[in-house]
Amino acid sequence: MPSSSGPAGSGIRRRGRAAVIGGSVAGLLAARIAADRFAEVDVFERDQLPDRPEARRGTPQAEHTHALLDRGKEILEDLFPGFFADMATYGVLPLDTAADARWFHRGAWKMRFPSGFAGYPMSRRLLEWKVRQRVAALPGVRIRDGAAVSGLRTARGHVTGIRVGGEEVATDLVIDASGRGTRLPAWLADLGYPTPPLTRIHVDLGYATRLYRRPAAVRDWAIALCSGGCRAGYIVPIEGGLWSVTLVGYFGDHPPADDPEFLGFARSLPVPDIHAALLEAEPLGPAARYRFAAYRWHRYERLPAFPAGVVAMGDAVCSFNPAFGQGMTTAAVEAEVLGDWLASGAASTAAFQRRVAAIVRDVWLMATSEDFRFPETEGRRPRGWPAMQWLMDRFIAASNDDPLAMTRFLQVMHMHRRPVRALADPRVLGTMLLLGEDRS
Ligand SMILES: Cc1cc2nc3c(=O)[nH]c(=O)nc-3n(C[C@H](O)[C@H](O)[C@H](O)COP(=O)(O)OP(=O)(O)OC[C@H]3O[C@@H](n4cnc5c(N)ncnc54)[C@H](O)[C@@H]3O)c2cc1C
């Protein structure tokens, strides 16, 4: 078993070998964490990886607007010190979610004030490329591109290797971070293990994202958002003096890629701001499109048996409605949990999957409380849903013009606070209960 000394000053002896399946955000963060404990970490990525911030087949979502939430930013900076100073050299600067955003949500304008919750708008390609550079520079880490994993090997209930092309690669730990298209359930079935139950919520969402040259005119907002209905739109500034403009439609009402229909879809939003801004900006080609049919949550935490030494995280466990911008931050929080789990001896994979499920549960609640409002959303509402829905509706309505409720809302949105804790704040509850019926 290979061994070497761990991160400088940590006193940790790094031993053994870990294999990460998937070289996107979750896989790279997992590799960063595993590199603290394992002498060798191999990241297997099916795609050929570009040596610049470029599109690739395995991450079609990278063409679309990606927000990194405040908690995700904190974790990235912790894992890669100086990351955001480097980003600033590309023109990526923090924007306050409340002060810098003009946000029309569920039929009302959100209040604007310096909240201290920053998003870092940047292209997803740039983010992934910069993270990849940092991970590739870690001792013991190899990123092997053009390497599709096709199965697992186990002996006496423990993983011993993975299949990559015709080759078998020995490993002590496998981390599945292969995204929505994960084959882990099928590989488990091939080995005679039960497969995890899959929870799906069908929303049939369409995305269209187009880049515009940012106009010179000064506005009183940097980000424009119109959300909470079956049609939504976002304007987000990214590096290179560009706007990343995304239109979203639910239940098969998908935004088109070309003009005049793209602009027509923007004009149909409940407020005219996004359409008006686009009329003053220069589009750089047609939009990229993406269809997101359903949320998918593989319930690994419910499995009665699972091979030791295999864990799953990121979109390979759960992919949410992407419009809420939670996926990368969820992967970052899960990476932190991976670090704790490895530090505690990594004895029970079930314990790791239970902790991942606890993270997913809160994110799921936030996202689905938006989508279950629509009768067309297909999927089982949780027990007690009408009461939960009522509370969430009131919470969101209260956050439109009450600073404390808005602060709590942003804490939950940026994944700094659990929704139940935000709702349990007596002062926020008081504001929610005093709202008139027409406000919720
Ligand atoms: C349209 C859209 C918009 C989004 N917007 C946001 C946003 O604003 N904010 C946010 O935080 N998140 C957003 N997300 C979600 C975010 O992209 C993901 O949650 C995030 O990238 C983490 O995904 P992942 O690394 O788990 O999987 P993925 O990004 O899907 O990556 C999986 C990787 O595994 C590789 N792979 C697959 N199978 C194999 C195999 N057998 N062998 C080797 N490699 C394999 C793939 O090529 C790919 O590189 C959005 C998603 C979509 C679809």
Query: Please, what CATH class does the domain formed by 78-122+202-293 belong to?
Result: alpha beta
Encode pLDDT of 410-432 as tens digits.
999 999 999 888 888 888 888 88
* 116 pLDDT above the threshold of 80: yes
> Cβ(229)–Cβ(274) under 8 Å?
no
Q: Which residue type sits at 44? A: F
Q: Which residue type sits at 186? A: A
Q: Compute, in angstroms, the gap from residue 91 CA to the centroid of ligand 1.
A: 24
- Residue ranges, comma separated, of all CATH 3.50.50.60 domains in the chain are 3-57+126-197+299-368
> What is the DSSP secondary-structure string of 227-273?
ESSSEEEEEEEETTTEEEEEEEESTT-PPPSSTTHHHHHHHTSSSSH
- Span 45-58, average pLDDT: 95
Average of per-residue pLDDT values in the chain: 93
Encode pLDDT of 302-337 as tens digits.
999 889 999 999 999 999 999 999 999 999 999 999
CA distances from 191 to 175, 184, 195, 396 (A): 17, 11, 10, 46
* 13 pLDDT above the threshold of 80: no
Encode pLDDT of 182-191 as tens digits.
999 999 999 9
- Span 382-386, average pLDDT: 87
- The percent of residues in the chain predicted with pLDDT above 70, rounded, is 96
The residue contributing the CA closest to ligand 1 atom 53 is 61
* 439 pLDDT above the threshold of 50: no
CA angle 95, 101, 104 (to 5 degrees): 155
Q: Compute, in angstroms, the gap from residue 25 CA to the centroid of ligand 1.
A: 7
Of 5, 14, 61, 10, whose CA–CA distance to 34 is shortest? Answer: 14
> Cβ(231)–Cβ(248) under 8 Å?
yes
* 440 pLDDT above the threshold of 50: no
Q: Pairing mode, if any, of strands 173-176 and 17-21?
A: parallel
- Residue ranges, comma separated, of all CATH 3.30.9.100 domains in the chain are 78-122+202-293
- Span 126-145, average pLDDT: 98
Q: Which residue type sits at 335? A: A
pLDDT at 429: 82
Encode pLDDT of 276-291 as tens digits.
999 999 999 899 999 9
Encode pLDDT of 359-381 as tens digits.
999 999 889 988 999 999 999 99
Residue of 29, 61, 143 with the most ligand 1 atoms within 8 Å of its CB, for mutation: 61
* Residue 232 zone, left/alpha/beta (φ > 0; ψ -120 to 50; rest): beta
Residue 292 CA: nearest ligand 1 atom is: 53
Q: Compute, in angstroms, the gap from residue 362 CA to the centroid of ligand 1.
A: 20
pLDDT at 11: 56
Encode pLDDT of 196-255 as tens digits.
999 999 999 999 999 999 999 889 999 999 999 999 999 999 999 999 999 999 999 999
Residue 164 CA: nearest ligand 1 atom is: 42
The residue contributing the CA closest to ligand 1 atom 12 is 327
List the structure tokens of 271. Answer: 């407020």
- Span 100-107, average pLDDT: 96
pLDDT at 6: 55
- Span 257-273, average pLDDT: 96
Spatial distance between the Cα atoms of 424 and 140, rounded to a whole number of angstroms: 46
Q: Compute, in angstroms, the gap from residue 154 CA to the centroid of ligand 1.
A: 27
Encode pLDDT of 288-302 as tens digits.
999 999 999 999 999
pLDDT at 431: 82
Residue 177 CA: nearest ligand 1 atom is: 26
The residue contributing the CA closest to ligand 1 atom 39 is 178
Architecture of domain 3-57+126-197+299-368: 3-Layer(bba) Sandwich (3.50)
Spatial distance between the Cα atoms of 28 and 20, rounded to a whole number of angstroms: 8
Pocket (CB within 6 angstroms of ligand 1): 21-27, 44-47, 58-59, 61, 64-67, 148-149, 177-181, 183, 207, 290, 292, 314-316, 322, 325-329, 331
> Cβ(57)–Cβ(67) under 8 Å?
no
Spatial distance between the Cα atoms of 64 and 287, rounded to a whole number of angstroms: 9
CA atoms within 13 A on the CB side of 289: 14
Q: Compute, in angstroms, the gap from residue 316 CA to the centroid of ligand 1.
A: 9
Q: Which residue type sits at 173? A: L
